[in-house]
A and B are shown apart, each in its own frame.
Chain A
């Protein structure tokens, strides 16, 4: 007897397998169309901007395009001594065109990033250039300012030749490629970014720890109290959540400033004297206090949702089997809350590491974080490529943390609700 199964046909003679596939295909298409708006939204608002950001952070074509003749002429220059007349002429022609187009200012800014002092000699060159005679541009340009005779400036110019560079990333960690092409640290007194990175991680870490220490008992209480009390407590947890971030931060400013309510209280109970009111605002303390308060719900909610699912009989079982209340907690209850702890800590840490408004308002000089620096470059110096580079470094950091977390705890164990 043949063991082969006969092909099952539908009533109209098409093999059942095929018509099933057809039907499934239709369903799949329907499902895809349903998620399409979200997909488009994500691509437009997320994938595209991040891609653009990545591109911007390495894009260095601006200078390259501004000085096309110069860089062509520089191809043959070995970079040891001053370049030839050919390069000087090309640079003169390029720069003349920029002056006519009134875009020379951008070049000055860009080259000044590369080497300090470029801006002023370019301006001077612009003024003197009007009287230049044809030919022998090397002499004429070198006569404008003695820095033009310094080979360092020409080397700096050449360094900007490649259309793409990672120099912004180096700058983000206080390093740069020196004249010899080696990657070295910037002078000690100019290492601002490293301090900011360390401070950002430090603040994010301690805010996470503080949030965890405060949220755990709250979440436990929420999960175990009878409904009518737990609802009230839940509202207390969520109320700040519903209030505008700015309002909350501003209220911390009112509370914590030197003439603020908390300081008044300290003076009143005699903890500190009136002259020595501690500074709790516009420094790290202010950042810690305000950020912890603002991020607390993000820790409470995942913890609560996990604790809610832990049957109270487990703790009872632990006790009835002979465990002291502490042992029952530590061996039974605590391990079961780890998914919530993981979710909460990850959430709070990631939010804290990129926090912007609160440190900007209450952080002062010693309490600002890397995101404030990014904002500074976005808004004030307009060095978008540097801002993008730092933003991407931040993103990479967060992804790295996520990866480590996944290795240690497993993302599958995360429970957000």
Chain B
């Protein structure tokens, strides 16, 4: 059975609430069947609006959304058959867990026996068997979250939307829930559209991530590509940490360019968003790609002064004053070889030009 690679399709979708500002601008996005896709972005970037348009609680100002090749803009939410997990769970407080799960089945006129079976199955999927008669108020946050997930899945929807479902949980619980949701997705193969502003969550769970900013998708790619190869400085800044150098391109070849920094020094970088000499650029470098006292020969090799050392257990974060950038961060693995990391010391820092990505100046 071939899977539809355009199971959900946003086609040139615009959305404006007040007729003045576009919250979502010309959005084109294809979501494949069975995919776990995450919409990631800061608040106000339009990601939740997209989700609400897909769920049917908002209508696109322009453009059309297709579900399995059918336009759905004129279909009311209750006929779309899309499951949704809400930020605050939205469990019905006056119903038991069983009744909450049975709700979508009852409105679909499923027979009593089938309801029992499906509720049982859904509860065992989130390992909450035996909780049927509890009220939501008697459950912990994590358990409520699982009930919400089970409820969104119990009627076998084609797509499940999740709107920052783990936002209210504490850190440990959030992490274990991430894996749990990921495993549920893997085992039943439902298409999941997940909205979050937590990049860690997005990187852990998704097949693909759409980074939103300013109503636009900045980059749509797999988690590793997103982290390793950000296409613009917003994504580089938003996903993970990065060290930034502002400068001007002075020399450019196929896969290498020379950038003259504001401090006067020149570094080699990988031209991603720059094409010609004289262009302004921001060079982005992941902290873990810069090494200290490397024996390997690298194109960029500079001396920096240690400004701050923060101990993190398995690694140490070191803030350097390097090439005029006082916020240069290094992550040094905790090993006996790195004993000379002390405040005020000068150390050698080097990195490959390939890892230093020359992006748009923004």
- Judge if A335 is at the interface, Cβ distance under 8 Å: yes
Beta-carbon contact of B92 and A314 below 8 Å: yes
Contact with A along B60-101 (1 / 0, CB 8 A): 000000000000000011111111101110111110000000
Which of B91, B93, B103, B161 has the most CB atoms of chain A within a 10 A radius of its CB? B103
Measured CB to CB, the closest approach of chain B to A339, in angstroms, equals 10
Q: Quick one: which of A316, A331, A332 contacts B77, CB cutoff 8 A?
A: A316
- Judge if A73 is at the interface, Cβ distance under 8 Å: no
- Considering only residues 317-347 of chain A, those with a C-beta below 8 Å from chain B are 317-325, 327-328, 331-332, 335-336
Measured CB to CB, the closest approach of chain B to A308, in angstroms, equals 15
Which residues of B are found within 8 Å of A320, using beta-carbon distances? 55-57, 77-78, 80, 82-84, 161
Q: Quick one: which of B57, B90, B94, B155 contacts A322, CB cutoff 8 A?
A: B155
C-alpha gap A320/B151 in the complex (Å): 11
Given A316-B57, A320-B83, A336-B93, A325 and B88 contact (CB-CB distance below 8 Å): no
Beta-carbon contact of B107 and A317 below 8 Å: no
Which of A320, A327, A331, A335 has the most CB atoms of chain B within a 10 A radius of its CB? A320
- Considering only residues 290-323 of chain A, those with a C-beta below 8 Å from chain B are 311, 313-314, 316-323
- Judge if B104 is at the interface, Cβ distance under 8 Å: yes
Given A332-B92, A336-B93, A313 and B78 contact (CB-CB distance below 8 Å): no
Beta-carbon contact of B86 and A322 below 8 Å: no
- Judge if B108 is at the interface, Cβ distance under 8 Å: yes
Given A317-B92, A321-B151, A335-B94, A328 and B78 contact (CB-CB distance below 8 Å): yes
- Considering only residues 240-280 of chain B, those with a C-beta below 8 Å from chain A are none
C-alpha gap A316/B161 in the complex (Å): 13
Beta-carbon contact of B107 and A323 below 8 Å: yes
C-alpha gap A319/B80 in the complex (Å): 10
Beta-carbon contact of B104 and A321 below 8 Å: yes
Q: Which residue of chain B lies nearest to A320 when distances are taken between CB atoms in the complex?
A: B84
Beta-carbon contact of B88 and A327 below 8 Å: no
C-alpha gap A328/B84 in the complex (Å): 15
Beta-carbon contact of A322 and B107 below 8 Å: yes
Chain A contact-residue range equals: 10 to 19
Which residues of A are found within 8 Å of B82, using beta-carbon distances? 320
Q: Quick one: which of A313, A323, A335 contacts B103, CB cutoff 8 A?
A: A323
Q: Quick one: which of A316, A323, A324, A325 contacts B90, CB cutoff 8 A?
A: A316
Q: Which residue of chain B lies nearest to A335 when distances are taken between CB atoms in the complex?
A: B94
C-alpha gap A314/B90 in the complex (Å): 5
Give chain A's interface secondary structure class. helix
Which residues of A are found within 8 Å of B161, using beta-carbon distances? 320
Which residues of B are found within 8 Å of A318, using beta-carbon distances? 92, 103
C-alpha gap A319/B152 in the complex (Å): 12
Given A314-B92, A327-B107, A331-B103, A319 and B86 contact (CB-CB distance below 8 Å): no
Beta-carbon contact of A311 and B78 below 8 Å: no
C-alpha gap A73/B351 in the complex (Å): 125
Which residues of A are found within 8 Å of B94, using beta-carbon distances? 335-336
Measured CB to CB, the closest approach of chain B to A326, in angstroms, equals 10
C-alpha gap A323/B161 in the complex (Å): 17
Q: Quick one: which of A323, A331, A332 contacts B78, CB cutoff 8 A?
A: A323
C-alpha gap A328/B92 in the complex (Å): 11
Given A311-B88, A313-B88, A317-B86, A322 and B104 contact (CB-CB distance below 8 Å): yes
Which residues of B are found within 8 Å of A316, using beta-carbon distances? 55, 57, 77, 84, 86, 90
Which of A311, A313, A319, A321 has the most CB atoms of chain B within a 10 A radius of its CB? A321
Measured CB to CB, the closest approach of chain B to A317, in angstroms, equals 4
Which residues of B are found within 8 Å of A335, using beta-carbon distances? 94
C-alpha gap A311/B91 in the complex (Å): 10
C-alpha gap A336/B82 in the complex (Å): 24
Measured CB to CB, the closest approach of chain B to A413, in angstroms, equals 10
Beta-carbon contact of B84 and A317 below 8 Å: yes
Which residues of B are found within 8 Å of A328, using beta-carbon distances? 78
Measured CB to CB, the closest approach of chain B to A323, in angstroms, equals 5
C-alpha gap A316/B104 in the complex (Å): 13
Which residues of A are found within 8 Å of B84, using beta-carbon distances? 316-317, 320-321
Beta-carbon contact of A311 and B104 below 8 Å: no
Measured CB to CB, the closest approach of chain A to B187, in angstroms, equals 22
Beta-carbon contact of A317 and B81 below 8 Å: no
Beta-carbon contact of A313 and B86 below 8 Å: yes
Measured CB to CB, the closest approach of chain B to A335, in angstroms, equals 5
Beta-carbon contact of A322 and B78 below 8 Å: yes
Which residues of A are found within 8 Å of B155, using beta-carbon distances? 321-322
Which residues of A are found within 8 Å of B151, using beta-carbon distances? 321
Beta-carbon contact of A311 and B77 below 8 Å: no
Q: Which residue of chain A lies nearest to B87 when distances are taken between CB atoms in the complex?
A: A313
C-alpha gap A406/B155 in the complex (Å): 38
Which residues of A are found within 8 Å of B104, using beta-carbon distances? 321-323
Measured CB to CB, the closest approach of chain B to A403, in angstroms, equals 24
C-alpha gap A412/B351 in the complex (Å): 68
Q: Which residue of chain A lies nearest to B148 when distances are taken between CB atoms in the complex?
A: A317
Question: Can you spell out 20 A-B residue pairs with CB atoms less than 8 angstroms apart?
Answer: A313-B88, A314-B90, A314-B92, A316-B57, A316-B86, A317-B86, A317-B91, A318-B92, A319-B56, A320-B57, A321-B78, A321-B83, A321-B84, A321-B104, A322-B78, A323-B78, A323-B103, A324-B78, A324-B107, A336-B94
Binding site for A on B (CB under 8 A): 55-57, 76-84, 86-88, 90-94, 103-104, 107-108, 151-152, 155, 161
Kindly list 10 other residue pairs between chains A and B, CB separation below 8 angstroms, not including A316-B57, A325-B76.
A313-B88, A316-B77, A317-B86, A319-B57, A320-B56, A320-B78, A322-B79, A323-B78, A323-B107, A336-B93
